[in-house]
Amino acid sequence: MKMPPQDPCLTDAARLALNDPTLSSARRRQLLALLGAAGVSAMLPLRRAHADAAKIVVCNWGGDAIKHQPAVWGKPFEKATGTKVEFDGTGPSFGKIRTMVESNNVVWDVCDANLAAAHSLGKRGYLEPIDYAIVDRNKVRPGFSSEYGVSHFIYSFVLAYDKKAFGDRVPRTWADFWNTKDFPGMRILPDRVLASLEAALMADGVPADAAKIYPIDEKRALDKIAAIKEHAIFWKTGAESQQLLRQGEATMGLVWHTRAAVMRREPGSSIDFTWNQGILIPAGWLVPKGNPAGRKVFDFIASTQSPESQIELLRLMGNGPANPAASALVPPELRKDNPTDDENFRQQIVADAVWHGENQDRIYNEYVKVITG
């Protein structure tokens, strides 16, 4: 791959920073990630210190994950194996992973993403195949694992709403979400295609059945989104989605169930949500090609399959367990907010990871044109 021209001053400054003896290995890895995203790391000497193999670096999306995943998965693995686990909350975006692999400066060992990302990046040669001799495929729901990704928790996009906004009327479907006459007010939707397209099709009359939703009729879905964009705000982060609903800037939202559940539990909250027509997403571990810790990373992934640890993550964050054995162990008080509870699960559709892996990057550009045009 031909890299863009580099500023020699920037490259020299990066070399000096990376060779600073006071720089911790964790900070060095983060700096390498930022330099890689900027295209600078390809100009630097490759660093693969032996110490890197003695630790595992997990990249997630920050927020509650950077607070709770170390306690639930990191510390127990360290205690059991003696291998240190570090967490990076800067977010394992497609672009960062691609740049790391292409520049031979991979600084993450395992990434908290989803199976659509695993399909897209894996088929292009950016990921290591999951070692199912170590990772137990039987500890994942059928269809929630692939060659390059394995689910570790489940989340959903759901219809959240302000109970005070509509009197006795309660929105229950995406058709209600799109019905601004009977359910007035601004809506919020994600600034990405995952779940937005599915919700739009269900609003347009397609049955809530994955076999009918996929392959997605792209034009139909985008036309439906165009029809509501004057009444919509498109959120970028989970925190932003919460803020918009809490402050009353929107009356309804297509949001992550974890954020909706937090708002519902807040004292005096008028925010609620429904599982009906939810879009369920199997989050997944994926391993960048050439990860510093090598095969040891699969021992870590296998350790996260413990049903007890997944239930603890449900308690702390609302993420649904990926291991079916956890279902019988979920305490009654947690079932209401668990996307994999039988009653909640059957009201939703499961997102097609292969379809999104094949098409998401391409259609995203069309989606942006619709929501910004």
Q: Rounded to whole angstroms, how far apart are CA atoms 227 and 220?
A: 11
From first to last of its 373 residues, the chain has per-residue pLDDT tens of 333 444 444 444 454 444 454 455 455 555 655 555 555 544 343 444 333 568 999 999 888 899 999 999 999 999 999 999 999 999 999 899 999 999 999 999 999 999 999 999 999 999 999 999 999 999 999 999 999 999 999 999 999 999 999 999 999 999 999 999 999 999 999 999 999 999 999 999 999 999 999 999 999 999 999 999 999 999 998 889 999 999 999 999 999 999 999 899 899 999 999 999 999 999 999 999 999 999 999 999 999 999 999 999 999 999 999 999 998 899 999 999 999 999 999 999 999 999 999 998 899 999 999 999 8
In 3-state terms, what secondary structure has residue 57?
strand
Cα–Cα–Cα angle for 222, 227, 231, nearest 5°?
Answer: 120
Cis peptide before 8 (omega within 30 of 0): no
DSSP-derived secondary structure for 284-303: EEEEETT-TTTTHHHHHHHH
Q: Are strands 271-288 and 150-162 parallel, antiparallel or unpaired?
A: antiparallel
Cα–Cα–Cα angle for 182, 186, 190, nearest 5°?
Answer: 120
pTM of the model: 0.82
Which residues face 146 on adjacent strands? none
Assigned token pair, 241: 């989605």
Q: Rounded to whole angstroms, how far apart are CA atoms 165 and 270?
A: 9
